[in-house]
Structure 1
Amino acid sequence: MLNKFFSPASVEDEIYKIWEQSEYFAAHPEYVSKTPFTIMIPPPNVTGTLHMGHALTMTLQDIVVRWRRLQGYDVLWQPGTDHAGISTQLVVDRKLSQQGIDRKKIGRDAFLEHVWQWKKESGGEITKQLRRLGASLDWKRERFTLDDGLSEAVKKVFVTLYREGLIYQDRRLVNWDPHFRSAVSDLEVENKEINGHLWYIRYPIEGSNQHFITVATTRPETMLGDVAVAVHPSDERYKQWIGRYVRLPLTERVIPIIADEYSDPSKGTGAVKITPAHDFNDFEVGRRHNLELITILDAEANIDLHEIKEGDKTVFLSSLQGMSREKARNAIIEKLEQLALLEKVETYRHQVPHAERSGAIIEPRLTTQWYCDAATLSKPAIKAVQDGRIQFVPKQWENTYFAWMKELKPWCISRQLWWGHQIPAWYGPDDTVFVCYDEKEAEEQALKHYGSTQVLRRDDDVLDTWFSSALWPFTTLGWPENTPELQRYYPSNVLITGFDIIFFWVARMMMMGMHFKKDVPFHTVYLHGLVRDEKGQKMSKTKGNGIDPLEIINEYGADAMRFTVCALTGPGRDIKLGKKRIEEYRSFITKIWNAARFCEMNTVFLKEDFSLEGIAFPLNRWILNELSNVILKIDQSLEAYRFDEYASLCYHFTWDKFCDWYLEFAKIAFKSDDVHLVSETRSVSAYILKNLLIVLHPIIPFVTEELWSAFSFGDKGTLMIAQWPDFKKCGGLDNQQSVQEINYIITLISQLRGLRSEIGVPSAKFIPLLIKDIQSEFFVIIQRWSETIKRMVKIASIEVVQDFSSKNSIQTSIHGATFIFPLENIVNFDKEKNRLSKELFKLSQELERIQNKLSNENFMKKAKAEIIQETRERVVKLQSEENRLKLALNRFQ
């Protein structure tokens, strides 16, 4: 017997172990008769723990792979984790610091030993958590971006691209993280709006004691690296000074006044200081005017004056050496005030770039780095989308993709870290570089180049983590070897991921796949939105509005969380998630469980010789038709990646059609004296339940698997390898007469129930029903279902009348017939009219208040988008309730 309540905690772990130990998740390259279906997991960071973004992505992927397995495909869902260079180094570095160990003192090799040990002990946490979610990945094929096979593949790609001229070294400005002392990607920089200041500094005109050019800056400390002041060529205020010089305050240096359109006369003073080694825009100005590049900050963002000539240094300037940029800023401002060169200070709110991982303020820094020619690699990837070989879902993401791909800059792929793929480059004594597969090959090249044996130095840098993860679709399958897996599972069918990594990862996989495999890495890219809180705000620790998926699983079960995120995933929109929504969908799980218990109590089981041939009872023919229709629509929804539609179809068929109508109607059939009717209804109930569990399984795998074995549809754990039903073979396509009959009864019961509710009939009160002007065919149906109608609408008697007149009655029309509730001594009409009038007045006032708010320009300008949307949704709900109350009141008139 099933327990009274479904307890996820008592079954989830056991069921998952059965699945995994039975190797039901495994792909089988040898099954050549089966069509392959492949999805690549976006490899989570090895440092990671499950968050709601993971939960959404993995749930959607798991739905698709479970569906395809049930359809008979040979499915590969490729698992693995990313070494996450910066994140992992940060985690282990902190761990060692707590133990009093300094990474710099123990050296690279010893530090990497600690990292590998940490990875062995703690690095698999995220994969354990994915199991809690129910993710059915082929775990025996799990890969790691730093495992031996992938590392060799990364070297091959680097060396190949270098020899093709698509990887090279260059000295350019990069986003520099002073905490890690490493370059970081543009995509790993988070702009934060902060309160700051705008300092107006006077730069004295050379040769004049009276004239100054004032520049406004948020970073006075970088003035030490200024090499020019730029003004707009058409700015009349400064035309006379173009070509002259200013004395750079605090130094012994003079710098030119140049004309450049980068200067905006409408901003600040119209004059801008140019510091090419510490600002990306200034770097471009410097290139146009062939200006000197002077770096004044070291790798940790402390003042470093070694590039400033001794003759240009003052005593004060020398005193700044080694100061942090923040302390130097304060000292410089104080000195400028003393020299009367600080004109004014304004408070200023502006965007400041921060390193996503460390949180440090980014410093634009001039360094020599390794670059990849992304613009050249992007061309085949752009064409693949243009000609339809890769399709984006939703399609509008194609425009975003094209816009970004056509503006690509060189991709900085080197990082000044220890953890990662060390760049396969060696340097000779004169810094000649040898890019090779290993040190032996580098030594051979060096011998040929120098004519003698030389001591070579390995490049210390590692590759950007996204470089290796860009190779994920083919290196995980054994490339560069032409393995059976590579031949069978590349390209994959679909990539499912968040839109926020379309440029981090998606576009780069497309570039690398097209270049090295000469084929797209996947045919479809499905991009889902972000998970936000129930008010539409981004989840964050500082706001305290985050939701931990593991806590949700512990409290509500994995199925409830999976169903919720699936139901809320609409095309092109973010998800507003709160516990209330999860509780609502947990009720759906409970509904399924209770329906199964009802079936069990009524001895519902599926006979071995059950056949759909000869099903006679209209109710059973109707539900078979509904099953056929819902399976067809579910297939269409999943083919189109409309996860919200899939969830909605499952929900409404289960709750509305199966539970609220079919099983309610079946209660009388189960008590019938007609043995054949009882037997048929039991068998059809079991058949519907069996197929319902199958179509629900991809979204709620645990509860469906538990019920599957409870009803002896198969051994525990075997539902996931059952056969997906064919809508054409569910026996429901030729049952239109039965469908019309049952739909008529459903409409009748629904309207009569609604009428009772509207007019305030006590819920426990049985009342008479009179029918006038009914066609004989409909009356025959009513007679056949009279006991069901009486029980479900709480009707004492049903009588056909030729005429009826009473002011104390309420009526409604259905298919031309009039249905009347005589309510003498049952409902106080005056009291009900008064109640409805008060409710309508109160609601109308509320509706008017909210509509006035939406017509208020001030509100519409200042309110957040999610608040405006919620207000509009509230109006729609109130208008619907208003119409209902008006209709109910009119019935009393």
Structure 2
Amino acid sequence: MDKSFEPGQIESKWYSQWESSGWFKPSGQGQPYAILLPPPNVTGTLHMGHAFQHTVMDTLVRYHRMRGCDTLWQLGTDHAGIATEMVVTRLLAPEGKSRSELGRDAFIERVWQWKQQSGDTIERQMRRMGVSGDWSRTMFTMDEIPSEAVRETFVRLFEQGLIYRGQKLVNWDPVLKTAISDLEVVSEEEDGKLWSIRYPLADGSGSLVVATTRPETMLGDVAVAVHPQDERYAHLIGRHLALPLSERQIPIIADDYVEREFGTGCVKITPAHDFNDYAIGQRHSLEPINIFTDEAKINANAPAKYQGLDRYDARKVVLADLDAAGLLVEEKKHKLQVPRGDRTGQVIEPYLTWQWFVKMDGLAARGLELVESGKVRFVPENWINTYRHWLGNIQDWCISRQLWWGHRIPAWYDEAGNSYVARSEEAALAQAAARHGGASVVLRREDDVLETWFSSALWAHSTLGWPNEAAMAERGFARYLPTSVLVTGFDIIFFWVARMIMLTDHFTGEVPFKDVYITGLVRDKDGQKMSKSKGNVLDPIDLIDGISLQDLLEKRTSGLMKPQDAPKIEKATRKDYPDGIAAYGADALRFTFASLASHGRDIKFDLDRCGGYKNFCNKLWNAARFALMNCEGFRVDTAAPLALRTEAERWILARLQHCLGEVETQFAAYRFDLVSQALYEFTWNEFCDWFLELAKPALNGADTAAADSTRHTLLYTLETLLRALHPLIPFITEEIWQNVAPQLGIATPSVSLQAYPRAADIAADATAEAEVEWLKAVVSQLRRIRSEMNLAPGKAIPLLYVGGNAADRSRADKFAAQIGFLARVESQRWLLPDEAEPAASAAIIGELKLLIPLAGLIDLGAEKVRLAKEIARIEAEIAKCNGKLGTATFVANAPAAVVEQERQRLADFSNQLKGLRDQATSLDGI
């Protein structure tokens, strides 16, 4: 092995070998274990959220593969209709071309070219992260297999009466000129204004005052509503108002929606341009009037003066005309929630338009039943409340989009506007001919495409070949559905998770997955959401390979939606990364993600953590080099059992057994943070810091049998640890394992093909643990004293034992050589019964006192100061114990074991305090 760990030199080598050897493919043997990759959008590159989730999924897949499961990780990408159209439209701009100039077919061809480029980039990034999915089965949502599933689903739902076309209010982006989902609408508080407008009664007998933040929409008003129990207006209900600036009269209606205490208690009703007003309009059978074009300009349904004006230009003219007519009562500042499209940043309009919808009430009831019954389990379980909320307040699903890129809706129209939903144009023509008495009919294909979430909702069963029976048999439909777990974010529980549950069950009778592991968002170190405009976005590949400050600046400031943000972003980047970003490698990044993957929390990603886990990888590398150098030429007799000759060997295997038990428990609970913590602590603290040191006396001693036994245990423990770590940090573990395995007689070509170690395969040894923990405590106390006394590392010290019990005397004798070696002790003896304690620095371990005589070693004054500090610390600990034990509720309610543990702590601290005070007294006499 090389002297230092260089991740860049080993990552590409091992990944290409893993993939080319076919080790990522399902084996067909063992218990099926399947995971669906939430397909990333083909809109560029992966972000930190992807890298985090891919780490979690890959860790699960590698773990279960090593446990003998038949693992399938289904990979793929999503066509992402709106997002991809926007990217390609922006790419056309420098060429002087536009989407409309190219036309539908030529534009779609350009999108396919972009998809190939972006898809390749995403796959390269995933490989760099170590993703061990079956690339031979990777799927794109517009490949033929999922496209057939989309067509079949649409037609069947239509035939079942669950899909219909209707005119409803939708979120409308006037720049993209398409409906968008709630997920694509971002509402934030902004500064606005509130205008109070007088609406005269039609008979001239008075007026009502109405407040609005959108005065231009009054051109589409169809009523003014008051509360039915508002005495101020009860006599006006049923009468009519003269709508200002229009030639129309509108009724005064009563509805419980109105809040009497808010404003004047009068609300203008504009069903075509407000979701709440739309619901009121339906209750009162009010015909909505749409006054906007698809570009948010005033259309022909408004008075001629305003037609053709942009919505905000129209607002200015409307306000001026109201003021001139004496109808503008008041204008004041007002905070309001403004909905904007997350792609364009433009204000979204509630817009009345014809769309295709899925009826959701029955599907939602079934989707809720499947989760409530436990067939689908949320982890953490509290996310079921979010799921319940969405499904309990569900509306019919608008599935059509006014785009070109996507699954074109399988519907055709004749000249009379009659629609025909069919699996093919031939089938639609047959339907039309039947309708028209056998006559030949010319049909026009529906221009709209399905929203991306429609095809994504079929991901679990479409990727397994449904509805094509041959493809289903080939891809293992019956074997891998339901899949084992879905790893995804909380923000798409409704938009994706719920719809997958509903549609997979509806068409296959199976749930799509048994568990849903919900992750938090990856935020920056200060807890801020990562975004280009804030300049805090991190590219996972930059963390793996490193990036210079100059390249980072260029990357962060190019292509900004608001170029004016560039100076702010540059300043923040220079502050946070004055030297750019160092190369940490994929393993350190993966371990960082795993260590932060706690239930129910967003992730504050700090590069310092990444640096810490790069150090962890270096620690493991150096430990392996130590083991290999000390075992050079040593070969294990594979026919002979592991023979343990030293307490240190028995101890490290017992600690390994505990570690593996904890890992098994936490993997089952999806606690990746606790998995990584258990492995980190065992690797760093117990294996590297202690066992390697405890092994040195045996390795360098005259007892050949003990030396060989220690070598065997050293290699065995290291190899087992590498297997345990492999799902988390696959590259470094593979590289080291390839050097260790031959010395253990292992002929398997990869650590990934080895069985994952189990706690049950290693014997526990409580006696060895107790023995070595005593040794560790002695050495630690002696090292602490040496440090506090500022003794040079090479300076040998004398050691006196005082008190203690029979076990202490036995252990002191057994571990004399190790204590001498590890603590640089030149002499060890027990204080005689009639011998006075010399002036010494002391430490207390249970009933045993350790004394290091001070004569010729230290400054007595400094030692008195040290003792005083230690006495103060122990007194504080005793006060805490007394505080707990003196509280009646603690003693009465805490588990008995906890109370007893606290009492034992108090006894131990009291014993230590006595010894320290005695030592301080002895120093005072010098």
TM-score normalised by the chain length of structure 2: 0.86
Query: For the Cα contact (< 8 Å) 2:808–2:848, is it kept in 1?
Result: no
Q: What is the match of residue 704 of structure 1? A: 733
622-631 or 669-678, which deviates more: 622-631
Q: Tell me how far apart the structure 2 counterparts of residues 840 and 574 of structure 1 sit (CA, whole Å).
A: 42
Match of 1:432 among 401, 418, 421: 418
Q: Tell me how far apart the structure 2 counterparts of residues 144 and 476 of structure 1 sit (CA, whole Å).
A: 9
Match of 1:336 among 322, 336, 341: 322
Tell me if 1:781 matches 2:776.
Answer: no
Matches within 5 A, 1:158-557: 158-208=154-204, 211-304=206-299, 306-308=300-302, 313=303, 318-451=304-437, 452-482=439-469, 483-484=472-473, 485-554=476-545, 555-557=583-585
Q: Tell me how far apart the structure 2 counterparts of residues 290 and 172 of structure 1 sit (CA, whole Å).
A: 14
Structure-2 change in CA distance of 1:607 and 1:273 (3 Å): same
Query: For the Cα contact (< 8 Å) 2:734–2:751, is it kept in 1?
Result: yes
SS at match of 2:408: coil
Task: In structure 2, give the amino acid aligned to 1:199.
Answer: W
Residues 368-391 of structure 1: CA distance to partner in whole angstroms, max 9, x if unpaired? 111111221123322222222211
Query: For the Cα contact (< 8 Å) 1:25–1:138, is it kept in 2?
Result: yes
SS at match of 2:381: coil
Tell me if 1:67 matches 2:98.
Answer: no
- More relative contact order in 1 or in 2 (CA 8 Å, sep 6+)? 1
Q: What is the match of residue 588 of structure 1? A: 616
Q: What is the match of residue 753 of structure 1? A: 783
Q: What is the match of residue 653 of structure 1? A: 682
Q: Tell me how far apart the structure 1 counterparts of residues 360 and 184 of structure 2 sit (CA, whole Å).
A: 17
Q: What is the match of residue 627 of structure 2? A: 599
Tell me if 1:21 matches 2:20.
Answer: yes
Structure-2 change in CA distance of 1:807 and 1:236 (3 Å): farther
Task: In structure 2, give the amino acid aligned to 1:297.
Answer: F
Task: In structure 1, give the amino acid aligned to 2:107.
Answer: F
Query: For the Cα contact (< 8 Å) 2:227–2:265, is it kept in 1?
Result: yes
SS at match of 2:344: coil
CA deviation after TM superposition for structure 1 residue 232, in Å: 1.7
Task: In structure 2, give the amino acid aligned to 1:27.
Answer: P
467-476 or 90-99, which deviates more: 90-99
Query: For the Cα contact (< 8 Å) 2:517–2:670, is it kept in 1?
Result: yes
Residues 818-840 of structure 1: CA distance to partner in whole angstroms, max 9, x if unpaired? 22233356454555666898999
815-824 or 389-398, which deviates more: 815-824
The alignment covers a number of residue pairs equal to 837
Tell me if 1:727 matches 2:759.
Answer: yes
Match of 1:155 among 151, 154, 159: 151
Q: Tell me how far apart the structure 2 counterparts of residues 792 and 373 of structure 1 sit (CA, whole Å).
A: 74
Q: Tell me how far apart the structure 2 counterparts of residues 839 and 449 of structure 1 sit (CA, whole Å).
A: 96
SS at match of 1:180: coil
Q: Tell me how far apart the structure 2 counterparts of residues 836 and 264 of structure 1 sit (CA, whole Å).
A: 72
CA deviation after TM superposition for structure 1 residue 281, in Å: 0.3
Q: Tell me how far apart the structure 2 counterparts of residues 193 and 165 of structure 1 sit (CA, whole Å).
A: 40
Q: Tell me how far apart the structure 2 counterparts of residues 889 and 829 of structure 1 sit (CA, whole Å).
A: 15
Q: Tell me how far apart the structure 1 counterparts of residues 211 and 863 of structure 2 sit (CA, whole Å).
A: 73
Query: For the Cα contact (< 8 Å) 1:471–1:513, is it kept in 2?
Result: yes
Q: What is the match of residue 50 of structure 2? A: 54
Matches within 5 A, 1:78-117: 78-117=74-113
295-304 or 480-489, which deviates more: 480-489
Query: For the Cα contact (< 8 Å) 1:759–1:832, is it kept in 2?
Result: yes
Q: Tell me how far apart the structure 2 counterparts of residues 104 and 519 of structure 1 sit (CA, whole Å).
A: 43
Matches within 5 A, 1:661-810: 661-713=690-742, 718-730=750-762, 732-733=763-764, 735-757=765-787, 766-802=796-832, 808-810=839-841
Structure-2 change in CA distance of 1:796 and 1:201 (3 Å): farther
Query: For the Cα contact (< 8 Å) 1:706–1:716, is it kept in 2?
Result: no
Task: In structure 1, give the amino acid aligned to 2:830.
Answer: V
551-560 or 396-405, which deviates more: 396-405
Q: What is the match of residue 847 of structure 1? A: none
Task: In structure 1, give the amino acid aligned to 2:266.
Answer: A
Query: For the Cα contact (< 8 Å) 1:79–1:139, is it kept in 2?
Result: yes
CA RMSD of aligned residues (A): 2.6
Q: Tell me how far apart the structure 2 counterparts of residues 420 and 801 of structure 1 sit (CA, whole Å).
A: 86
Query: For the Cα contact (< 8 Å) 1:833–1:889, is it kept in 2?
Result: no
Q: Tell me how far apart the structure 1 counterparts of residues 532 and 920 of structure 2 sit (CA, whole Å).
A: 55
Q: Tell me how far apart the structure 2 counterparts of residues 767 and 337 of structure 1 sit (CA, whole Å).
A: 96
Residues 447-489 of structure 1: CA distance to partner in whole angstroms, max 9, x if unpaired? 1111111111111111111111111111111111232311211
Query: For the Cα contact (< 8 Å) 2:225–2:258, is it kept in 1?
Result: yes
Structure-2 change in CA distance of 1:349 and 1:606 (3 Å): farther
Q: Tell me how far apart the structure 2 counterparts of residues 361 and 892 of structure 1 sit (CA, whole Å).
A: 75
Task: In structure 2, give the amino acid aligned to 1:138.
Answer: D
Task: In structure 2, give the amino acid aligned to 1:459.
Answer: E
Q: What is the match of residue 816 of structure 1? A: 847
SS at match of 1:497: strand
CA deviation after TM superposition for structure 1 residue 445, in Å: 0.7
Task: In structure 1, give the amino acid aligned to 2:595.
Answer: A
Q: Tell me how far apart the structure 1 counterparts of residues 719 and 244 of structure 2 sit (CA, whole Å).
A: 83
Q: Tell me how far apart the structure 2 counterparts of residues 606 and 741 of structure 1 sit (CA, whole Å).
A: 29
Identity %: 45
5+ long unaligned stretches in structure 2: 546-582, 874-908, 922-926
Query: For the Cα contact (< 8 Å) 2:184–2:342, is it kept in 1?
Result: yes
Q: Tell me how far apart the structure 2 counterparts of residues 590 and 389 of structure 1 sit (CA, whole Å).
A: 44
Query: For the Cα contact (< 8 Å) 2:842–2:916, is it kept in 1?
Result: no
Q: What is the match of residue 625 of structure 1? A: 654
Q: Tell me how far apart the structure 2 counterparts of residues 807 and 384 of structure 1 sit (CA, whole Å).
A: 75
Structure-2 change in CA distance of 1:371 and 1:663 (3 Å): same
Q: What is the match of residue 578 of structure 1? A: 606
5+ long unaligned stretches in structure 1: 843-882
636-645 or 363-372, which deviates more: 636-645
Query: For the Cα contact (< 8 Å) 1:168–1:371, is it kept in 2?
Result: yes
Structure-2 change in CA distance of 1:303 and 1:709 (3 Å): same
CA deviation after TM superposition for structure 1 residue 284, in Å: 0.9
Q: Tell me how far apart the structure 2 counterparts of residues 653 and 123 of structure 1 sit (CA, whole Å).
A: 40
Q: What is the match of residue 595 of structure 2? A: 567
Q: Tell me how far apart the structure 1 counterparts of residues 332 and 657 of structure 2 sit (CA, whole Å).
A: 70
Residues 483-536 of structure 1: CA distance to partner in whole angstroms, max 9, x if unpaired? 231121111111111122111111111011111110111111111111112222
Q: What is the match of residue 869 of structure 1? A: none
Query: For the Cα contact (< 8 Å) 1:375–1:406, is it kept in 2?
Result: no
Q: Tell me how far apart the structure 2 counterparts of residues 838 and 677 of structure 1 sit (CA, whole Å).
A: 42
Structure-2 change in CA distance of 1:841 and 1:617 (3 Å): closer
Structure-2 change in CA distance of 1:835 and 1:787 (3 Å): closer
Q: Tell me how far apart the structure 1 counterparts of residues 691 and 639 of structure 2 sit (CA, whole Å).
A: 19
CA deviation after TM superposition for structure 1 residue 230, in Å: 1.4
109-118 or 275-284, which deviates more: 109-118
CA deviation after TM superposition for structure 1 residue 17, in Å: 0.7
Q: Tell me how far apart the structure 1 counterparts of residues 348 and 36 of structure 2 sit (CA, whole Å).
A: 33
Residues 10-66 of structure 1: CA distance to partner in whole angstroms, max 9, x if unpaired? 1111111111111111114xx3x4222111111111114111110111100000110
Query: For the Cα contact (< 8 Å) 1:39–1:495, is it kept in 2?
Result: yes
Q: Tell me how far apart the structure 1 counterparts of residues 637 and 162 of structure 2 sit (CA, whole Å).
A: 65
236-245 or 515-524, which deviates more: 236-245
